[in-house]
Chain A
Amino acid sequence: MTPAVMKIYKIRHNTTYRYDGLASICHNEVRLTPLNMATQRCVSTSFAVTPTPATTDEFNDFFGNRVTSFSIQEPHEELEIEFNSLVEVTPPRWLGASEDPTAWDTAAEQLRSQSGAKWAEVRQFALPSPLIAPAADLRNYAAPSFTKGRPLAQAALDLMHRIYAEFEFVSGFTTISTPLSELLQHRRGVCQDFAQLAIGCLRSLGLPARYVSGYIETAPPPGQKRLIGADASHAWFSVYHPQAGWQDFDPTNNKQPNGQHITLSYGRDFSDISPVKGVMVGSGGHEIDVAVDVIPSNEFQSQTQFQQQS
């Protein structure tokens, strides 16, 4: 077995709100600190908010994600939130589709007889959540992948392949509140939609599945420099395997994370772990700008120079 190759990433996530009018006060909650887990370590993280918040608090949420909450109490027209993190990622070792001994239907059937704290935590992910409710059309969509007695890892992989093949990545076509049944009809959406669709399918079959929010490293076209801010937030799904634990699948890219994915947080669906949210007291609407950079360690040096030159 070859030792897994560790990778280091520098992540910059910048969010800027511009309001139409003046906001007198603004309360925010962000989940932008990468998780510490077996295959990922957050080496450092720092953030800067303008205007300077009057209060800042950090705590772990119900799922163990790091939350930063802050409030701006002075009148302001623009709010800028920037998070910078350094993360080490080891490519995870997923359960191979051919080595899985557990039929998905057995796993689903036995779920409720599993007891103890760990299983109590897992079992909640099989239940409906604010944005994802099990439904007959989801079960029907999943059916060809989940044939009787098929190993769970194999079936989930097949589901991922099918979503990748049968759905078109189109941004702006859906919002986070677009129902899954509509998504099934139009077959167009973005990574959040594909992740939530898969979760809906799995829960409709009685399997625990969770939503993962994070980033993915994208390679610039050959011979070209990485463009600043060209990356984006990413999302994928994870299904619980009774022996192997949580298994991640990225239906947008048709692959299981292999060291290029950085996990921020996980929850039942997007509504549990929206990376940036806030309530502003003031009048009028607002515009939002998001810029994300996921820079692998071998590019740090050139990136720094590039930034200095500009």
Chain B
Amino acid sequence: MVTSEASRALAWRDAYVNLAKTVGLAADEMLLADGSIQPLWQPVIEHFETLEKSDIRDLRQAALRLIHENGITYNVHGDPRGTQRPWELDPVPFVISSDDWERIESGLVQRAKLLNLVLDDLYGPRNLINQGLLPPELVFSHQEFLRPCAGIDASRELILGSADMARGPDGRIWIVNDRTQAPSGSGYALENRGISTRLFPGLFGRCKVRRLAPFFRSLIKTLNQLSPTKGNDPRIVILTPGPLAETYFEHAYLAAYLGVTLVQGDDLTVRDRRVWLRSLAGLEPVDVIVRRLDSTFCDPLTLRSDSYLGVPGLLEAIRANNVALANPLGSGVLENPGLMAFLPRIARHFLGEDLKLPSSATWWCGQKTECQYVLENLKNLVIKSINRSPNFGTVFADRLSAAELQVLRDKIKANPDSFVGQERVAFSTLPCLVKDQLQPRHAIFRGTFAAIGKGEFTVMPGGLSRAASGLGDLDVSPRAGGVAKDTWVLGDAPEAFASLWSEEGDRHQLAADERNLPSRSGENLFWAGRYAERTEGTARVLRRTLQNYFDGISRNDGVHDQQLNIMITALHTITETLPLSKSLEAGSRLADSYPEDELLSMLMDQQRIGTLSATLRSFINACYGVRDLWSLDSWRVIDSIDSQWKALQQSKAVFLFSFPNELNSLITQLMALTGLNLESMTRQAGWLMLDTGRRLERSLLLISLLRSMLLERRGESHDYLTMENFLAASDSLVTHQRRYRSQPNAESVLSLMLLDENNPRSLLYQVARVQNHAALFPGKKSTDPLLAEDKFLLRAHTQLKLCDVHELAQVDPVSGRREHLDKLLKNLTTLLIGVSEGMTLTYFSHVKSTSLLG
């Protein structure tokens, strides 16, 4: 139906052109002056024109699903939707021609060279200031000019940087911002690319889009060469502020992608003027730090003394040239927007060239005439603080009221050195998918460069673009609702697929080098294992309790009431929670009370420690703390557990009847995760920690459940039901039936659950597994003397092996309890807690507080 398609396309184009006219037709990237489509954009637009409304819906959903599955997030502080906000990607790429790209590339390389020279000068001889090319106040009042870092020769090379740029009404590309502190965006660009190639596989090939992997390959090479020790296999780490940082996802993603270790400040220590990683195997030397933590936080001794994110003594190692930082401390001084006013002169001074890509016209208020100009033309300008500050972002002065303008004017007059005015450039617009239509939106592209050898740079052919959310809006920040876009730089010929690890195979999906597994990551994995098992165990007991509850409703007899009472008591015991209402305390009869509230609370109350929801949250947090170590599939399961439970939390009405299904699904997913990890994690330190945590927790839960349910003799009919409940809650009812083909009795239950070495649910099985794992822990040799935790394990194992089931099953005629069993279980609890504490001391004791002396 050619005609209908053509008319649909026409209608669509008319709508787009009309909207583009309202913000300036000439400024649209896709349209020519007469409203027709640029040849460059033709393939992309033709592709969209073949799409039905339903296809567009599918496309959008596919994009959302991919983002969700990959777990791409951006932490927006103070966001009402919660700190972690899913990344928003507009599926239409920003298409850049190879001609434009040539200009951008050479302009950005020039800028990188120039900024590198400025950095070297400011932390070296400061000729720019002494010779009057830069006013001293502009540099000396900038918070990122770090005096303790001046004069360190080995550490002032710019390695990574980026610049936000946009096309102005004159068709030229203008630089809006320089990012040299710890530029973000390259990891997001990779993710966006991964998504857009999956959304448009054919189109991507037809357009001959340039690939990103070669850029990262040269980045790895550069990082390797930075190592001051010049060894063959330098240790590279990415230093992150931690999971609460805005771009933590990217830190974790890049660490996994580049195959380097993700660390936080207290994973590192300085000894003998060297930086060391506290790893599970002890201290490992670190050669290169990719810094995603702002400089001032990096060393509490010499920089911000209130920082708990840094490494005390880091500057000692830097001064001794024993560690390289990318970027060096203090590189944020180049982000000062006031520099832009002076760059053209500096470019002529250093390079004898004019800037190939001009910066937005900038007036620094520290100069009298310029300040006067800014104050008089305030309404037409964008005002920025020379320091990046959470309290003063980019201010579009035309949007301010008269009163707000006055406040701004007073601020500038009170501290003119701190402000610049910049020309408000009306950036070009790009097509964005808005509902099911393409509409023009203003957009900015972030170009990223990296050093390749001394003073030489390469540019990533592509990168992160951002578009504003509303028609005519200029603010593209995520805070203002801006969305991300992939950027397609068109090449002359299709590029062959190139993996980052062309020679060694694709390590993308694999965990980072385990040689360097930081203690913190080991501990997180250990606790992820413990919490996963605690969640699963709690869910099983809850599921069985609910079944008893529903059975009791239909039968309404004393026997079921008592069984429900026993189950709820067991639930409280294993989760170490206290009953919500007094009437539920052991011994009282349930018939008089309402167990619904209690059950609901044990399921859903996030504030009450020990409930399923609270334990699940701890599990998710532990997983997020080692975001870089999970395989993509594992993360998908973790994320789906998280989002399903969150959806349940947010649903308006919650019915107990729906929970058996929810619990089934949760248990299945947790088991799937265990299975995935079993299949995808190498049997190295990380997996050993995870599985040890799991086994220890399972042992402790089992002991606790046994003590709560099987110590007391309750009489023939009750005992049978209790044992059945116990077996069901421990996922062993079927096993028992198959093995014994009879009603459970104390002896059969205890031999199956305590002593059966072949039952993966038995206590002996767990202890034996932990013992095997412990022998393989990092840094251990079979000839070493036993550590405290090994001794505890040996004792636990021996006690279990030596015990007599017949004796354990005996009920003391006086107390009516199984006293032998009680004694054994008490002993085992002490021993197993000893194992956990021993491991913490041996492997995890990295979390030490620091205090300031002075």
Using a CB–CB cutoff of 8 Å, the interface residues on chain A facing chain B are 17, 24-29, 54-55, 57, 59-63, 69, 71, 73, 79, 112, 115-117, 119-121, 123-124, 127-128, 272, 274, 276-286, 288
Q: Which residues of A contact B148 (CB under 8 A)?
A: 61-62
> Do the beta carbons of B271 and A54 come within 8 Å of each other?
yes
Bound together, the chains give a CA A272 to CA B145 distance in angstroms of 13
Q: Which residue in chain B gives the minimum CB-CB distance to A176? A: B854
Q: Which residues of B contact A26 (CB under 8 A)?
A: 853
> Do the beta carbons of B147 and A272 come within 8 Å of each other?
yes
Bound together, the chains give a CA A276 to CA B320 distance in angstroms of 21
> Do the beta carbons of B147 and A25 come within 8 Å of each other?
no
Bound together, the chains give a CA A278 to CA B305 distance in angstroms of 10
Known: A27-B301, A59-B319, A288-B853. Is A54-B272 also a contact (CB below 8 A)? Answer: yes
> Do the beta carbons of B853 and A55 come within 8 Å of each other?
no
Q: Which residues between 142 and 161 of chain B lie within 8 Å of chain A, taking CB atoms?
A: 147-148, 150-151
Q: Which residues of A contact B141 (CB under 8 A)?
A: 127-128
> Do the beta carbons of A120 and B854 come within 8 Å of each other?
no
Shortest CB-to-CB span from A287 to chain B, Å, is 11
Q: Which residue in chain B gives the minimum CB-CB distance to A62? A: B147
Q: List 6 A-B contacts (CB under 8 A).
A: A27-B312, A54-B272, A116-B132, A123-B136, A274-B854, A282-B851
Q: Which residues of A contact B150 (CB under 8 A)?
A: 62
> Do the beta carbons of B316 and A120 come within 8 Å of each other?
no
Known: A27-B312, A123-B137. Is A115-B270 also a contact (CB below 8 A)? Answer: no
Q: Which residues of B contact A276 (CB under 8 A)?
A: 853-854
Bound together, the chains give a CA A280 to CA B130 distance in angstroms of 39
Contact-residue bracket for chain B:
35 or more
> Do the beta carbons of B848 and A281 come within 8 Å of each other?
yes
Known: A71-B270, A281-B312. Is A120-B129 also a contact (CB below 8 A)? Answer: yes
- In-complex Cβ contact of A55 among B273, B305, B852 (8 A): B273
Known: A54-B271, A61-B148, A282-B848. Is A17-B316 also a contact (CB below 8 A)? Answer: no
- In-complex Cβ contact of A278 among B132, B273, B320, B854 (8 A): B854
Task: Knowing that A27-B312, A60-B151 touch, tell me 11 more A-B residue pairs with CB under 8 angstroms.
Answer: A17-B853, A25-B271, A26-B853, A54-B272, A55-B273, A55-B316, A61-B148, A116-B130, A124-B140, A281-B848, A282-B849
> Do the beta carbons of A277 and B854 come within 8 Å of each other?
yes
Bound together, the chains give a CA A71 to CA B848 distance in angstroms of 17
Q: Which residues of B contact A63 (CB under 8 A)?
A: 147
Bound together, the chains give a CA A116 to CA B130 distance in angstroms of 5
Bound together, the chains give a CA A61 to CA B146 distance in angstroms of 11
Shortest CB-to-CB span from B600 to chain A, Å, is 41
Q: Which residues of B contact A274 (CB under 8 A)?
A: 854
Q: Which residues of B contact A29 (CB under 8 A)?
A: 301-302
Shortest CB-to-CB span from B266 to chain A, Å, is 9
> Do the beta carbons of A286 and B853 come within 8 Å of each other?
yes
Bound together, the chains give a CA A121 to CA B851 distance in angstroms of 34
> Do the beta carbons of A279 and B271 come within 8 Å of each other?
no
Q: Which residues of A contact B301 (CB under 8 A)?
A: 27-29, 277-279
- In-complex Cβ contact of A24 among B130, B135, B270, B848 (8 A): B848
- Interface presence of B554 (CB below 8 A): no
Bound together, the chains give a CA A278 to CA B271 distance in angstroms of 15
Bound together, the chains give a CA A286 to CA B850 distance in angstroms of 12
Bound together, the chains give a CA A285 to CA B312 distance in angstroms of 17
Q: Which residue in chain B gives the minimum CB-CB distance to A126? A: B137
Q: Which residues of B contact A119 (CB under 8 A)?
A: 136
Give a binary string over B690-705; 1 marks a CB under 8 Å from any A CB, 0 the rest: 0000000000000000
Q: Which residues of B contact A127 (CB under 8 A)?
A: 137, 140-141, 417
Q: Which residues of A contact B151 (CB under 8 A)?
A: 60, 62
Give a binary string over B490-527; 1 marks a CB under 8 Å from any A CB, 0 the rest: 00000000000000000000000000000000000000
Bound together, the chains give a CA A12 to CA B302 distance in angstroms of 25
Q: Which residues of A contact B130 (CB under 8 A)?
A: 116-117, 120
Known: A25-B269, A120-B129. Is A280-B850 also a contact (CB below 8 A)? Answer: yes
- Interface presence of B797 (CB below 8 A): no
Shortest CB-to-CB span from A153 to chain B, Å, is 24
Shortest CB-to-CB span from A16 to chain B, Å, is 11
Q: Which residue in chain B gives the minimum CB-CB distance to A136? A: B414
Leading 6 A-B pairs by shortest Cβ distance: A278-B853, A277-B854, A27-B313, A62-B147, A117-B130, A124-B140
